[in-house]
Amino acid sequence: MSSKFQNRWWGWGFRSAVMLYFIILIVLPILGIYGQSLSAGWQAFADNITEPLAWKSVQLTVIMALIATVINIAIGTMAGWVLIRYRFPGRSLLNSMVDLPFALPTAVAGLMILLLLGPQSPVGHWAEQLGFSILFHRPAIVIAMVFVTFPFVIRAVQPLLEELDPAEEEAAYTMGASKRKTFFRVIFPNMLPGIVSGAMLAFSRALAEFGAVVLVAGNIPGRTLIASVYIFGEIESDNAAGAAAVSVILLTLSFLILWLVNHLQSRRKTA
């Protein structure tokens, strides 16, 4: 960079612009939500939260997101492993398709699930025959969440696996460790930080999902209505305080997770 940009007036200007941007775009709206939810006092906030439908929607969201995260941990770890360690035709195509859920509008994802799992589709028909339905029931919520958060664990595990020195595995072999032992004692501990931080990001993203879920969940209050859809409903029916209260809970959860991820990553860097 030229010395002009290192000039302290320039530096001051850049820093202020970035700060201002952050404040206007992120900090102020967040403070606004906290302010809005607490504007009628703590009692009103507590009432809004403990309103049975609101509380149920939050509970449902957390449970569904947890299930989706567990599924993503299992599948994501395996997919990351296969995409790095195996060489097969179509590997690079698959690898680039991992990011598709990020690029796709979530409403499109919802529509895809709708068409794929609807009662007219083979899968929906088959499930119906077995005596349960996916669409407009809880399984559909989990499927939508899994689809949307699919890339997180894979993308967090891949660089760690790539970084792993193959000689570490060979060293384990020469010391008498079987392939299985080598995986669990040498490779897996190296993947773990990626799995954990990927899972946390996936969980926090699953909590927030709206577009894909709203199309497939059926949104029956108290049964398949998740928090973000509840917020949408409250706004529609002009209850901003109710919407803000649930938002605050989601927001606080997201903050906690983000902080945890950062904490884990900084520990990894110093370690």
Contact positions vs another protein (CB under 8 A):
165, 167-168, 170-178, 181, 185-186, 189-190, 271
CA distance 41 to 44: 6
Quote the tokens at residue 34. Answer: 């906290």
Q: Which is nearer to another protein, 52 or 176 (CB)?
A: 176
The minimum distance between CB 185 and another protein, in angstroms, equals 7
Query: In this complex, which beta carbon is closest to another protein, that of residue 1 or of residue 167?
Result: 167
- Cβ atoms of residues 91 and 83 within 8 Å: yes
**Rounded distance between C-alpha atoms, residue 205 and residue 64, angstroms:** 12
Torsion angle in degrees (nearest 10) through CA of 74, 68, 205, 43: -140
Quote the least distance from Cβ 156 to another protein, whole Å.
Answer: 17
Query: Which CB atom, from 196 or from 227, has the smaller least distance to another protein?
Result: 196
Nearer to another protein, 103 or 271 (CB): 271
Q: Tell me how far CA of residue 166 lies from CA of 162, 170, 187, 190, in angstroms.
A: 9, 6, 10, 12
In contact, 83 and 154? CB cutoff 8 Å? yes
Q: How far is the CB of 189 from another protein (least distance, A)?
A: 5
Between CA 258 and CA 264 the distance in angstroms is 10
**Closer Cβ to another protein, 14 or 184, answer by number:** 184
